[in-house]
Copies of this chain bind each other. A is one copy, B any other.
Amino acid sequence: MAKRRTQQEWIEAAIAAFSREGVGGVKVERLARGLGVTKGSFYWHFTDRRALLDAVLEAWAEQGTAAIIDAVEASPGDAGDKLRTLWGLANGAGEQAFEVALREWGRVDPEVRAAIRRVDQDRMAYLRKLMLEHGVAPDRVEAKCLLMYSLLIGDWFIDVKHGRKSRKRVLSDALDVLLDR
């Protein structure tokens, strides 16, 4: 019988369901059906549903931040160029759905909240560094970092029309505001 599943396969299925429907969408029985096994078999790989969700969280915490920072650091140019690269990366990434679901989960779970706080801290530190390098006035750096990070995150939750201007154009204008262009 070729119906054996690895822990990794369960985690991948969980991540897909999590991105699509949030924590509530991660159902042991449905995942089992999708993987072609009975739900009982789940409990050989994980102690319970929570352990599976923890594995999902851990996967994100370990490489979610580092991946983006590495990609930006590998790109050419000065701090200003890197800020624009970051802007493009973050707004185009397919992991938005995942992060949105994660932040919602964090509302009801202190452990998740702590993990998010750590990642936000790292990302903000990196933003601060780039902004300072780019020559943004030091007493404005903190406010501008927060504005930029808020737009990055808040953008996933906001869906408005901008009249004549395209959304892409408005986002580019926003960066100009922050970088004193």
Residues of A within 8 A of B (CB): 20-25, 97, 100-101, 103-104, 107-108, 113, 116-117, 120-121, 124, 139-140, 142-144, 146-147, 149-155, 157-163, 165, 170-171, 173-174, 176-178
Contact = CB atoms under 8 A, between A and B. Distances in A.
B146 A151 contact: yes
Contacts of A162: 142, 146
A162 B97 CA distance: 27
Query: Main SS of the interface on chain A?
Result: helix
B142 A170 contact: yes
A113 to B, nearest CB: 7
Contacts of A139: 173
B160 A124 contact: yes
Nearest to A152: B154
Nearest to A121: B160
Nearest to A141: B173
B24 A159 contact: no
Given A142-B165, A174-B143, A159 B100 contact: no
Contacts of A146: 151, 158, 160, 162, 170-171, 174
A86 to B, nearest CB: 16
Nearest to A162: B142
